[in-house]
Every structure is written in structure tokens, then in C-alpha cells.
Structure 1
């Protein structure tokens, strides 16, 4: 299933995309109205949504809704740095011995189609196309071979970065957390529809120029290893977002620099999930 948070007639709620329609979950007692609550409800909610889809009713044309980020305000938004060998090479950094995570503040999250702001304080705005997964169950100390069970589904992330602010601090947090620097979407594809998250083509375009072209098989630490590592330290909860790193081709390493400019659009496409597209504008 392609699970979505969407707005229709000024009312935001939860549903699923089927072809060119959204199956509205509202009115069904076993289908919570918010994504995080839906994920926390587990198999009972998934079963109720499957029946809702099979009924052929409660449908709205996709063109008539505004998609929100699948998880508009995740409790935790964690991202890993230096997780593709080719990206490590282009940065000139050493290969990490352990996964290196930073936090993106949840207020940075925007949806497919929303505008990324070129901030008033910097012109060094960069893109990073990434696979992200969303936790579906509360968990701690998860073995690697059981970690897949903790994943509700997969989405696309653009880890937009304000580079000069990013490198003011070794934690990266401020430069990764500017408002609008967290596009997610367009939907959450449930785990059962992605047979192997570690063999998906990933591409990023700025306007019509292909900037990143890779495959998730080149990740150093895979999704399950990330869950096992993080869950040794912290409880992971439904709706937490974990972004899995970016391949080579980021703007900061281009000559001349390929930073994002107002009027451009950046698109990230991942096999089996879809395409996340966002225009760039000057910060209002």
C-alpha cells in the first residue's frame, strides 16, 4: 500500500493511494486519522485499510487533494552521514568505523510539491537524495536479523543542507534543520511491497540535469544494521524517520558548485517508491 497524509476540503487525514485516487480512511473506526496512530495500531489497522480499498468506495481523485509529508511531524528524524562509498570518496573523508548519525529537527519537514526556501542567511543550499524508512513498532535492542519487522515502510527523503551552517558544528544539526530542509514523500510504501530495500535505483535531478545516479546496494550500513545500532541506545517509536544517506553527486562537490537556486526544481526518484519533487524559492 501507498499510505498518505493528505488534505481535502481543509481537513487533513489519513488514506491510501490507489492509481489516481486516494482511499479516504475517515469514518472507519479501525483506521486512525493520523499516520503515527495508524502505524502504532499495527496489523489491525492495515487489515481495515485493505478492506476499505477492496470495497471500491470512499475515493477522492488524487488531483483534488494536497499531499502532506507521510509523517508531518516525526518524533525523531535521524539521518546517517557518509554511508555510500562514492560519496565518501568525493568528500575526501575516511570510511567510518561505526554509523554516524545526526538529527534533523521535525520542523524542517515539508511535503512533495512544497517549496524549499533559499534562506536569507546563506546561498549554499544543497540537495541529498536518500531512501528513508519509517519505524512501525516501538522497539529497543533489536537484533539485525529481526530488524526488518520494525519497519512500517519506505519513503523518499531530500536531506537538504545549508552547507556553511552545517559545518559550523560537528553535529551538523542546525545546517540540516532549516525550515523546509526536510522534504519527505510523496507517500509511504509499506514494507511488503519492497522486496529488497538494498537494491533500489536512486536518482536526483536538478531541473533536467541528472546529478545523482546510484543504487542502495552501495550503502555501507544497511537499513537493518542502522536499526540494530540505534536501538542499542534509544527506543525507536512508530513514526520515527531514519534517512539512509546519499550517494555521490552533491552540489557542494561540483566544479563550479552546484548549489540550488531560486526557480530551480529538485526531484528524487527511487525505484519502487516514486518521485519526490520540490521547487526552490527565496525565503519569504
Structure 2
């Protein structure tokens, strides 16, 4: 199931959770109400809004609790032939606009560490982003005048499905709700002027996430996914998530032995080689550039860079 945060202009521009079915966006709350009615259960507004929140932040904060109900709604919509809105009629936002935590992993592909003239780390390199940086798949990447070295990084993003503390790698998959695509846009000049990377990693409206969260059952083997990025149609990065130094189960074990993760938290798992900074000469993003990211079994996301 592909879960989206969508906007419709005649809906007071408020964002709502939907899912993709037959190329259309179906409102998950509406589909859940229809399922309740089909079961001759209470389908009152109060019950539906309590059990199936339309707000994306609240929806994902409930994790697997609400996901099971959403799957019932999805299966019913598929069987009943419920239709929704065409993709062109909606704008997709960040699937989770304000996650409690955005934890990022640096230098997690050996080839990328090498191209950045860095040693392979002994432990995962962790840093954070804040929600001010997040934008959706239909939004523009804002190039701030504070940087002249804006760079792209395609990354597999993990969405947590239930509270996770001291999780072992063997049980890590049980705590994952799904996956999405992240572009860890980095201002290299700001990132590298101090030992702490934060200032180069969380500029306003620079980090696309999307286009949807794909539930883990649909993604399948997440340790073997093709991952690519393009700039203006030119292939820049091409790798596989199997080349991570620290795979997803290890990352969940490592992080949750330090930090308790909550439903809706996001982990950006690192980028492979091929970034603009490492090219000869370096190729940084400019006004008007279009960055396209692809991850196997998840989809494609495309954002334009606009100087602001």
C-alpha cells in the first residue's frame, strides 16, 4: 500500500492521508467509513475520525495501530471499485510533515566515503534534520543565497511503525512501517566549515521526502533495492541498498540502543557515490535544475531547484 499526504484546493487546502489505487488517490478516512458501513458497524463521523485520523502527522504517530485499519479500507476500496482523484487533481505533500525525529546516517556506502576522501566509519555516523527542511514530491527545492555548493543525495528512508527501544537486528523489521525516498540535499560549503554537519544539512525547504510511504510488505527485500539519482536527466548515482556499510537492521539496533524511536520517526540511511561534490570538476545544483530519484519497489520523485 502506498500512503500519501495530499492536498485539494477546494478542501480548504488542508492535507489528508490517502492511498494510491489504480493510479488514483483515495481518501483513507472515506474508504474506512465505507468499510465500516459494509460491515454494518457504527460509521458515525465521531467514530471514523477517532479511529482513522485524516491528519498525516497524527495518522503516522499511531503507527501499526492505524495501519491495520487502513489496510482493511484499502482492500475494501479495491474490491468495491471505489474511485478517487486523479493524480493531476491533487498536490502531494511530505508524507509525514512533522516527524518527531529525523535521524540521518552519513558515510554509509564505502564508495561514497571514498569519493569524499573519508575513512570507512567504525560506527554509524549520525546527525539530524528538522522538519523545516522537509518538502514534498511536488515542491521545489529552495537554493538559499547562503550556499554556493548545493548537492543531492538519494537515500532510502525508513518509517518507524511502533515504539522501539533496544531492538535487536533480528527483530528490527517488526518495527518498520514502511519506506520512502529521501533527498538529503546538502550545502557542502556550510557542512564542511565546521566539524558539525547540521548547518549544511537542514536549510529551509531543501529536503524532499516522498512521493509516498510504501508499506514494508509491498517493498519486500529492502536490503537489495536498486537506487539511482539523475540531474537534468543525466545519471549521477547508481547503486544498491545491499552496499550499505551498516544495513537497516543494524541501524535500528544501533540507534534504539541510544534513542527510543517513535511511530512516524524517519531514518535516512545514507547515500551512495556519485554526488556532485566528488565530480571533477564539482557539479553543484543550480537554479532550474531538476533532480530525479528512483528506488526499486518504491517509485520515483522529481523536484526542481529554485533560487530564493
Shorter-chain TM-score range: over 0.9
Distance 1:31 1:232, change over 3 A: same
5+ residue gaps, structure 2, are 34-47
1:83 aligns with 2:108: yes
Deviation at 1:263, TM superposition (A): 1.0
Partner of 1:20: 23
CA offsets, 1:166-224, max 9 Å, x none?
11232211110001221100000001112211100001000011000101010000111
Partner of 1:3: 3
Equivalent-residue separation in structure 1 for 2:205 and 2:184 (angstroms) = 10
CA RMSD of aligned residues (A): 1.4
1:190 to 212, 215, 240: 215
Partner of 1:252: 277
1:108-257 residue pairs with structure 2 within 5 A? 108-257=133-282
Partner of 1:37: 58
TM-score by length of 2: 0.88
5+ residue gaps, structure 1, are none
Provide runs of 4+ in structure 1 moved above 6 Å.
none
Contact 1:23–1:52 (Cα < 8 Å) also in 2: no
CA offsets, 1:241-279, max 9 Å, x none?
100100000000111111001111001100000011100
Equivalent-residue separation in structure 2 for 1:236 and 1:215 (angstroms) = 26
Larger-Rg structure: 2
Equivalent-residue separation in structure 2 for 1:84 and 1:246 (angstroms) = 7
Contact 1:135–1:236 (Cα < 8 Å) also in 2: yes
Contact 1:80–1:100 (Cα < 8 Å) also in 2: yes
Deviation at 1:109, TM superposition (A): 0.2
Contact 1:39–1:137 (Cα < 8 Å) also in 2: no
SS at match of 2:68: helix
SS at match of 1:258: coil
SS at match of 2:146: coil
Deviation at 1:44, TM superposition (A): 4.9
Contact 2:93–2:137 (Cα < 8 Å) also in 1: yes
TM-score by length of 1: 0.96
Distance 1:73 1:43, change over 3 A: closer
| Equivalenced residues, count | 283
